[in-house]
């Protein structure tokens, strides 16, 4: 098992002809993800040339792409100015899983996108996220395939490369993953830590979870309280930004200490109070997970 997506997922790439979209579409196809269509307005009727002579039909609209291919998931690589509408278009077309990689979507756009997507019953992952990978099954997004291996650990994170760092160390230590999900570094994101913890709890193959948080907001605190109440599986945590100054946006739009809230200290405390063991360094995640398994 894996969470959110697997071998049967039928994926559309929104923005498949762009620089990032085309590069990552190829990478995903090489990994074995079933990409059934691409969407780029104005390029409908053309074909995307994938690896090994595979071709993917391109459509102008999501409505057509879904109608012709029966896709149930999409991944978005369109520029920030058009990305909010791309998410809405996917939800409107009946897509169940929408993964928005795009960084830089205005947060007020997201306040309108979120209720719409939720009312359509779709799951949005991101925006400003690396997507997800279920080793050996399916990759949606940009997480490098070379660093993952199949195994019993679920990984959920607000970060990209920091996730790669931790996952790579797990893999090197011989500890594989069920699914690695990057939920995104923006203040408003579709899928929360709690959604992922819920899914990992239900996933039979997952035996332990790594939760990588960072400064800003209270998602980690809520996830910690939720884990104590609802999770039978052990959770190991890491929080980035212990040395971040208050009031400054640390790269991610959501990584900001506002006033006195959202600090690493309060998140680490919330983890510890709720039975989540906290790694002081990224490498320490490995030891803690080994003990947990």
Partner 1 sequence: MNIHEYQAREILRTHGIPVPPGEVAETPEQAEAIAARFGTRVVIKAQVHAGGRGKAGGVQLAATPAEAREKAARILGMEIKGLPVKKVLVTPAEEIASESYVGVIVDRASKRPVFMVSREGGVDIEEVAARSPGAIRRLAVDPRYGLLPHQAYWLATTLYDEAPQQRACAAILRNLYRAFVESGASLAEINPLITTPAGEVKAIDAKFNIDDNELFRRESIAALRDVSAEPPAEIAAREAGLTYIQLDGNIGAVVNGAGLAMATMDLIKYYGGEPANFLDIGGSSNPEKVVNALRIITSDPKVKVILFNIFGGITRCDDVANGIVEASRRIEIRVPLVIRLTGTNEGLALDILRQAGFGATTSMDEVVQKAVEMAGGAPRATN
Whether 142 and 131 have beta carbons less than 8 Å apart is answered as yes
Q: Does 230 bind partner 1 (CB under 8 A)?
A: no
* Residue 151 or 217 with smaller CB distance to partner 1: 217
- We find the least distance from the C-beta atom of residue 182 to partner 1, in angstroms, to be 9
- Active-site pick, 211, 252, 253, 267: 252
Q: Using CA atoms, how far apart are residues 274 and 225, in angstroms rounded to an integer?
A: 6
Interaction between residue 131 and partner 1 (CB under 8 A): no
Distance CA(114)–CA(189), nearest Å, equals 8
Q: Quick one: 54 or 280, whose CB is closer to partner 1?
A: 280
Taking the least distance from each CB to partner 1, the nearer of 65 and 236 is: 236
26-39 burial, b at 16+ Cβ within 10 Å, e below that, comes to bbbbebebebbbbb
| Bridge partner residues of 13 (DSSP) | 38, 75
Asked if residue 215 binds partner 1 (CB under 8 A), the reply is yes
Radius of gyration of the chain from Cα atoms?
Answer: 18
Positions in 38-97 near partner 1 (CB under 8 A): 80-81
Tell me, yes or no, if 252 is annotated catalytic. yes
Looking at 4-12, 109-117, 199-207, 227-235, which segment touches partner 1 (CB under 8 A)? 109-117
Residues binding partner 1: what is the number (CB under 8 A)? 62
Identify the bridge partners of residue 69 per DSSP, sorted by sequence position.
none
Output the six-digit token pair for 248.
């400054």
* CB closer to partner 1 out of 64 and 114: 114
Cα–Cα nearest to 176, from 209, 151, 155, 203: 151
Helix ranges (H only) for the chain are 19-31, 62-69, 80-92, 107-119, 161-172, 193-202, 219-230, 264-273, 284-292
| Given 89, 195, 219, 220, the residue binding partner 1 (CB under 8 A) | 219
Beta strands at 34-39 and 10-14: parallel, antiparallel or unpaired: parallel
**Which tokens in the block code for residue 117?**
């997507």
CA angle in degrees (0–180, nearest 5) for 61-74-192: 135
Residues numbered 237-256 forming contacts with partner 1, rule: CB under 8 A: 238, 240-245, 248-255
Q: 40 or 157: whose CB is closer to partner 1?
A: 157
Q: Does 168 engage in binding with partner 1 (CB under 8 A)?
A: yes
> By CB under 8 A, is residue 163 in contact with partner 1?
yes
Segment contacting partner 1 by CB under 8 A, of 31-39, 195-203, 209-217, 227-235: 209-217
Shortest distance, position 254 Cβ to partner 1, whole Å:
7
The binding site for partner 1 (CB under 8 A) comprises 20, 80-81, 104-108, 110-112, 114-116, 130, 142-144, 146-147, 157-165, 168, 185, 187-188, 212, 214-219, 238, 240-245, 248-255, 259-260, 264, 280-283
Q: Which residues are catalytically annotated?
A: 252
């Amino acid at each position: 098992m894996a969470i959110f997506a697997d071998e049967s997922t039928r994926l559309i790439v929104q923005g498949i002809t762009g620089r990032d979209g085309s590069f990552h579409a190829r990478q995903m196809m090489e990994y074995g993800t079933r990409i059934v269509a691409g969407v780029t307005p104005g390029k409908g009727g053309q074909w995307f040339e994938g690896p090994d002579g595979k071709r993917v039909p391109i459509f102008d609209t999501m409505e057509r792409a879904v109608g012709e291919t029966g896709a149930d998931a999409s991944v978005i690589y369109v520029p920030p100015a058009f990305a909010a509408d791309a998410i809405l278009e996917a939800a409107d077309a009946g897509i169940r899983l929408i993964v928005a990689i795009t960084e830089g979507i205005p947060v007020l756009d997201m306040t309108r996108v979120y209720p719409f997507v939720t009312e359509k019953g779709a799951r949005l992952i991101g925006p400003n996220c690396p997507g997800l990978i279920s080793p050996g099954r399916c990759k949606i997004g940009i997480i490098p395939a070379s660093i993952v291996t199949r195994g019993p650990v679920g990984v959920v994170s607000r970060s990209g490369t920091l996730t790669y760092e931790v996952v790579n160390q797990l893999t090197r230590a011989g500890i594989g993953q069920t699914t690695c999900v990057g939920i995104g570094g923006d203040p408003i994101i579709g899928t929360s830590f709690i959604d992922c913890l819920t899914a990992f709890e239900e996933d039979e193959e997952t035996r332990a979870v790594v939760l990588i948080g960072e400064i800003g907001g209270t998602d980690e605190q809520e996830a910690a309280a939720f884990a104590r109440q609802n999770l039978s599986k052990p959770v190991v945590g890491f929080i980035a930004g212990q040395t971040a100054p208050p009031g400054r946006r640390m790269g991610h739009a959501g990584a900001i200490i506002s006033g006195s809230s959202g600090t690493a200290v309060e998140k680490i405390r919330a983890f510890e109070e709720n039975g989540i063991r906290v790694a002081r360094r990224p490498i320490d995640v490995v030891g803690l997970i080994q003990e947990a398994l």
